[in-house]
Amino acid sequence: MIASESVGSVACDDDVRGLAEPLPVAAPGTLKFAPGDRFLPELRRRVEQYFASTGRRPRDCPAMYLKTVVFFGWLAVSYVGLACWTESAWTSLPLAISLGLAMAAVGFNVQHDGGHQAFSNRRWVNKLMALSLDLLGGSSYVWDKKHNAVHHSYTNVTGHDDDINIGFFGRLSPHQPRLRFHRLQHFYLWVLYGFLPIKWQLYDDFRDVLLGRVGGHRMARPKGWDLLMFIAGKAAFVGLAFGVPLLWHSAGPVLLAYLVTSWTQGVVLSTVFQVAHCEENASFPLPRSADGRMGAAWAVHQVETTVDFARGNRLLSWFVGGLNFQIEHHLFPRVCHIHYSALAPIVESTCQQFGVRYTARESFGTSLAAHFRWLRRMGAAAAEHDSAFEHRVP
């Protein structure tokens, strides 16, 4: 489990209790954080005060239910048009791109909030929304273990956070080995990002379930209902992605449409997540060699390994499910993302008061540029690039 200092002990009502508590990690006891100070308890108190003073609910937000209807409507129209209606390449291409964007939007908003128990106070509603990932070809079971339990506990810790491990294809952390072809990764990785959904859908989930591991962490294999949903989800996705379209089209166009849709989805999903963690203002700390503990408390670690971006861009925030407010999300994953823009000033001012480094990029473009520079830096041969970064590692 995450060390007890990461959850604090602040009096709060049942509706707000646990908002900043990380979920249990996949391998309890393997990594602990430094003792906490008053930062997280004070931050929680201020966030609780915000909800009390505004009368707003952390979950079950009407705007979130409306977004769900909009995004599933977009998804359905794009899918039916591509799979059952279009016969022309001129209409198939924009429909495939539209479907990829709609799938990303459902993932960012509906699945992500449901998977974090941030959609509703009702457990079955959260579960239902989280299962939308299975409809999109992923596995909500594996995602919960990989993302909730591991990434949100060990953010940017090399060897623990599997989200910064893309194998030999690229070097995202200064503590990962560098291969000669990585010197070009700031060019080619943007293309490879688009193929990650195909890898997740057709390989990664099956590998993780068979091995019972997510990266370096043990994962209980799904049983009973979870196993049934895993199999049913994969079967439903194959049927929707290939079976239904093949009733109207030949195999070639169906495969091409699948590739375009998945690539569009992959580029959008990967870019949004990578710019928030893999750039020059995000830390990549390692445990101390003396006692194996991290040098910072859990909440401080979350802030300093994460970067906000384009906080004033309401359209972008609407589309990406508030994930441009990544710091707020990592601190309060069980709060609906509808609230992140209001929580950001509270979090930033509290960080300033306690001397915690808080980074927010002005625009999405500056975040893309920062990620480009980071990829170039991590792929460079000069040893000083890594040594210059070590001052950020506690």
Which tens digits make up the pLDDT trace of 20-52? 544 333 333 468 888 878 999 999 999 999 999
CA distance 197 to 241: 13
Cα 303 from Cα 274, distance rounded (Å) = 15
DSSP string, 323-363: TT-HHHHHH-TTS-GGGHHHHHHHHHHHHHHHT----EESS
User: What pLDDT is stored for residue 386 in this prediction?
Assistant: 54
List Cα–Cα distances, 59 to 63, 65, 127, 152, 165, in angstroms: 10, 10, 14, 20, 32
pLDDT of residue 19: 54
The arithmetic mean of pLDDT across residues 53-69, rounded, is 96
Residue with tokens 């009368």: 55
Strands (E), the chain: 213-214, 217-218, 308-309, 360-361
Each residue of 218-276: pLDDT tens digit?
889 999 999 999 999 999 999 999 999 999 999 999 999 999 999 999 999 999 999 99
Residue 392 burial (10 A CB sphere; 0-12, 13-18, 19+): middle
Average pLDDT over the chain, rounded to whole?
A: 88
pLDDT at residue 325 in the model = 98
Which single residue is written with the structure tokens 């019972």? 212
| Alpha-carbon dihedral 191, 192, 197, 198, rounded to 10 degrees | 110
Amino acid at 342: A
Q: Structural domain boundaries of the chain?
A: 1-394
pLDDT-derived band at 194 (thresholds 50, 70, 90) equals very high
pLDDT of residue 214: 82
CA-based nearest residue to 80, from 54, 102, 105? 102
pLDDT surpasses 70 at 391: no
So what's the pLDDT on residue 149?
Answer: 82
Identify whether the C-beta of residue 306 lies closer than 8 Å to the C-beta of residue 160.
no
The β-bridge relationship of strands 308-309 and 213-214 is unpaired
Spatial CA neighbour of 196 closest among 273, 124, 121: 273
Contacts of residues 204-207 at CB distance under 8 Å and 24 or more positions apart, as own/partner, are 204/142, 205/138, 205/139, 205/142, 205/230, 205/234
Question: Does pLDDT of 162 surpass 50?
Answer: yes
Per-residue pLDDT, 253: 92
Tens of pLDDT, residue by residue over 349-382, are: 999 999 999 999 999 999 999 999 999 999 997 6
Say what the pLDDT of residue 382 is: 60
Q: Cα(270)–Cα(104) distance, rounded to whole angstroms? A: 10
pLDDT band at 89; cut points 50, 70, 90: confident
